[in-house]
Structure 1
């Protein structure tokens, strides 16, 4: 077992981590990386339990591995990096933007964004699932929800992309005393204070809530700014990566893609299987708080950084039948891509909606394509796994005009 090595910053491993994940699950389900000093869980059952254990496994030091290890000063309002009861309070405020009713209300707008992205490309020989769709649709959607002006959206997207980049083989450089401020959103908040509208910024400016001390108050400006930065970053970067995998995986499974083109009612299940098969966020981290924890008879000491390998759990043969096969007919078995419990991804309904609408619109225009892997380029980031480009060569059928 001495040759078994895993770390999320190893670019060669990350190109295809699944053989390493399989070995971890079978040979060392509770793994310790001596070089970087973190622990890791790879089996579905262990990751599932760990995600729900907010009492012993804390998010307060971050949910990205190098952030947890750096132990930075966290500003108020990063609700994904909080533990209950504070997390519960802040999450309830943000989750109002992602209710089923809100999602139904914005579906037509998301479809219009998608049409605007794709229609200019019809008639050409190729298009790019990332550059033409993944880099545009999530940002336009978040911009609409949050009230970020169209002209400013590319800067927000570029910032969200840049903050998660790391040099190959190296963790991101985290500044202990200046981790996350969301400063670029300050001007939007100030502008919306004077120009209220029907968007998330205006709603958050006016919301009153009872905080963890029992005090009824409005959000502090810094809390609100950080809220926006978190929502925009997560909504743009992770959802954007989903589209690259959509092009690649369905390009490699033409029979299943043809089924989806013929019957759009199968698309929601296909999006779930895509999220299981190639999750854009392959792992999250936790801090082992006051007490040691035990998994598979192995003690993980208090004070440790613990990596929860979601992508490995999603391929665990103990939970999923034939897990390395992509199968749009797979019976739902609870992938962990969006997490579990208190920290279940608040934006999951939006990601599912964007994925479904985008695939419907792509298949209307291009029911068949081949991915050009010679021109596809991987995104060099350990936190979000995906592609910077995923070009597709369109194959027109004889019955298409």
Structure 2
């Protein structure tokens, strides 16, 4: 019989009403049920900073190899090789080395002027219009255009890839996948396959060619080229992870600096505050706030047992607001100088963190150069609900 908690608090990651503002529920979890069990969906959750950090680090017990999204784990899907987000050592380490080549300092340096160019092209036509949509006009486009250009994906297909990714991740109230045992198939794989086949015959100085020519070192020391399936999975991961969370980051930046105009004006007067502002946005509103794990062995937390075979959620979005770690954590403060867990920690620290920070910084700098003041039109704003990220789907502002 699974143990339950006695606290009268309910958390459901599939409940869109909770997802709209999960912080009151997460605070109750931290205070009343630091190890929480949800009987309806059969999962456990840890919500305090120290517990989440320890859980992320303990990959032997809390495994990513069956997926890091709850419904992927419970579906029993077979995870394809190369999906580094859903892997554990030693395979994870082998594939992470390949992925790290994508985000080298040389690549990141080359990305900034490209990201700025796309941002300028998105914003300049909106000058004088009286307002714009932070997500639809910029956040949903600039990150995808940037990573798509580096991979060599034509712009007309980038929109299709973005839309199919959103559809694949979309969550409806109470959504939960039934156990199928089928292989996990990333969205828009066929379209990417056509580009890979063409690029294999027409190599260039781009990320796709790098992956096609990459060699992997197996645990036994042997070397081999990536197979076609791994290449497709890598590219799909880069396209999805490289744009979806940054879209949410840009949306939250627009919202929070509308809600805190005095801090926005400080940044206008001193653009050197932009990087710190982006870090505080990430802490305050984590674009990817919940990480799921498969529990590989019985483990004890707060006097209770989490049994082998369970699903455990590590709520990093809650950990970022833990009073035990941060002073006055529900106060948005661009002058705060502290770390956060929005990019994970340790082994699974996000490989694209530098790219997301860069794109968030560029987006904010260019917005502020055109519009030092704006206000969110909440009557027309729409939240997005997906399996792995939270944030705004539409965020219209008046300028």
1:365 equivalenced with 2:370 (yes/no):
yes
Residue matched to 1:67: 72
Residues in 2 aligned to 1:66 and 1:303: alpha-carbon distance in whole angstroms: 14
Deviation sequence 1:6-60 (CA, Å, 0-9, x none) = 0101111111110100000000000000010000000000000111111111100
| Structure 1 residue 175 displacement after superposition | 4.9
Residue matched to 2:337: 331
1:281 equivalenced with 2:294 (yes/no):
no
Residues in 2 aligned to 1:159 and 1:220: alpha-carbon distance in whole angstroms: 24
3-state DSSP of counterpart to 2:242: helix
Moved more, 298-307 or 205-214: 205-214
| Structure 1 residue 2 displacement after superposition | 5.0
1:321 equivalenced with 2:327 (yes/no):
yes
Quick check: 2:76–2:182 contact (8 Å CA) kept in 1? no
| Structure 1 residue 201 displacement after superposition | 0.8
| Structure 1 residue 171 displacement after superposition | 2.8
3-state DSSP of counterpart to 2:243: helix
Quick check: 1:242–1:275 contact (8 Å CA) kept in 2? yes
Residue matched to 1:86: 91
Deviation sequence 1:341-365 (CA, Å, 0-9, x none) = 1111111100000000110000000
Residue matched to 1:263: 270
Moved more, 176-185 or 72-81: 176-185
3-state DSSP of counterpart to 1:49: helix
Gaps of 5+ in 2: 1-5
Residue matched to 1:197: 204
3-state DSSP of counterpart to 1:231: helix
Residue matched to 1:349: 354
From 104, 112, 117, the counterpart of 2:122: 117
From 208, 215, 218, the counterpart of 1:211: 218
Quick check: 2:382–2:394 contact (8 Å CA) kept in 1? yes
Gaps of 5+ in 1: 395-401
Residues in 1 aligned to 2:194 and 2:142: alpha-carbon distance in whole angstroms: 23
Quick check: 2:35–2:45 contact (8 Å CA) kept in 1? yes
From 230, 243, 251, the counterpart of 1:223: 230
Deviation sequence 1:200-221 (CA, Å, 0-9, x none) = 1100111122123322111000
3-state DSSP of counterpart to 1:299: strand
Residue matched to 2:54: 49
Deviation sequence 1:316-343 (CA, Å, 0-9, x none) = 00000000000000122x2100001111
Residue matched to 2:389: 384
Residue matched to 1:244: 251
Q: 1:308 to 1:375 in 2, by over 3 A?
A: same
Residue matched to 1:296: 302
Quick check: 1:165–1:172 contact (8 Å CA) kept in 2? no
Residues in 2 aligned to 1:380 and 1:109: alpha-carbon distance in whole angstroms: 29
Calculate the TM-score normalised by the size of structure 1: 0.95
Residue matched to 1:397: none
Residue matched to 2:3: none
Count of matched residue positions in the alignment of Structure 1 and Structure 2: 392
Quick check: 1:286–1:305 contact (8 Å CA) kept in 2? yes
Quick check: 1:166–1:172 contact (8 Å CA) kept in 2? no
| Structure 1 residue 142 displacement after superposition | 1.1
| Structure 1 residue 382 displacement after superposition | 4.0
| Structure 1 residue 244 displacement after superposition | 1.2
Residue matched to 1:169: 174
Q: CA RMSD in A?
A: 1.3
Deviation sequence 1:120-164 (CA, Å, 0-9, x none) = 101110100000011110100110222212221111111111110
3-state DSSP of counterpart to 1:127: strand
